[in-house]
Amino acid sequence: MKIIFLLAAAVLIWWIVRTLRGSSVSAPKPGIKNVVSCEYCDLHIPEDEAFKQNGHSYCCREHAQKDSN
């Protein structure tokens, strides 16, 4: 009878620890990104996705090329 009680207690403790550890781990939150606007079409895009040319930001290579002509 003692063995069954100890086994049940061990399973209960394992389940509680697993549940608490799993709930404390959360997905990383995305950081706030700086947003810039395209010099050609004024579309707002994250700065790290922008194409930079001559100190200006563009949403795509085509707009950077068109604005330089």
Domain boundaries, the chain: 35-68
pLDDT in tens, the chain (69 residues): 889 989 999 999 999 888 887 655 566 667 778 999 999 999 999 999 999 999 999 999 999 998 777
Distances 47 to 7, 36, 41, 66 between C-alpha atoms, Å: 56, 6, 15, 20
Beta bridge partners of 58: 51
CB atoms within 10 A of CB 12: 10
pTM for the full predicted model? 0.54
